[in-house]
Amino acid sequence: MTQDPRSGLLCAALDAAARGWHVFPLRPGTKRPALHGEKTCTRTGPCTDGHRKWEQRATTDPDRIRAAWSRAPFNVGIATGPSGLVVIDLDVPKDKSSSDAPDGAATFQALCERAAHPAPTTYRTRTASGGTHLYFTAPPGVRLSNTAGSVSPLVDTRAHGGYVVAAGSITPAGRYEALCAPVAAPLPGWLLSVLRPAPKPVQAPTGVTVGRSRLYADVALANETRNVATAADGTRNATLLRAARALGRLIASGDLTRVQVEQALREAAAGNATQSQRYYDDVIRRGLDWSIAHNPTRRRAA
């Protein structure tokens, strides 16, 4: 006897709601909302006082969830904004023929390394296409929106205005599965600084705007120079080389200038020196040259 697919999906919806996440139905076997759009709204039922989209209709109410999922084997959408979630979506390249292209997980790992932080442990799901969703609770008082590829290639985020497909949902490509850590951890501060909206452009004569990636680059520069300045005896040269390689990527991407990085690392090394300045300059040069040669060049820094 086969189990009614509705009961498994109902369980998935109730499980998400029990975590405090606001769910809504997705069309069976798809990732698209099952609720009507504004153009086809009849201004009846929940829309009597005006159309309400999925983000507003998403609920944690078990009775409403049971009623909805008794009608059809809906997949489960989680509206990330009302759920207080920030979900990082690590995708896999669409073009499977170029198997050596880095996927979102590798890109995110590199992001963590550049920021000198371990990859955070939190509730995560594997998506039907083989990607990963990392769930974090949003920091109070900060309104984050979706991003698409602006943090890193193949790294998207879902927050206000976005949704994710919950574990237990099934598409022709496969099933969404929950993995490891049972709870969503708070979004780490360093990740927040990468994800939060860029500040409004400063109305100064220079007209310089600090974009998200530039903010991130500044954090990375501060972290790496601190590592060098505080490196213990016996680890200093390796730390300096690692810092130069990490920051070289941000020179290649145009987020930092070589002069800026060389100066910061020189100063950090000089303040904690057991070798000559010339020796450290050579380590920095080798690290930067290697990294710039091995990382994609995107654009030049302003």
Sites of contact with Zn ion (CB under 5 A): 41, 47, 51
Smallest separation (angstroms) from Zn ion to the CB of 46: 7
Q: Which of residues 3 and 40 has its CB atom nearest to Zn ion in the complex?
A: 40
- What single-letter amino acid sits at 214? R
Name the one residue in this structure whose structure tokens are 């009775």: 63
d(CA 163, CA 55): 8
Q: Which is nearer to Zn ion, 41 or 301 (CB)?
A: 41
Handedness of CA 112, 113, 118, 121 (dihedral sign): positive
CB nearer to Zn ion: give 41 or 101. Answer: 41
Question: Taking a C-beta distance cutoff of 8 angstroms, is the pair 5, 16 a contact?
Answer: no
Nearer to Zn ion, 51 or 258 (CB): 51
CB of 60 to Zn ion, least distance (A): 21
Q: Which is nearer to Zn ion, 19 or 51 (CB)?
A: 51
CB of 68 to Zn ion, least distance (A): 15
CB of 26 to Zn ion, least distance (A): 17
Helix (H) or strand (E) holding 126: strand 124-126
Cβ atoms of 169 and 16 within 8 Å: the answer is: no
Residue type at 194? V
Q: How far is the CB of 76 from Zn ion (least distance, A)?
A: 20
Phi, psi of 158 (to 5 degrees): -120, 125
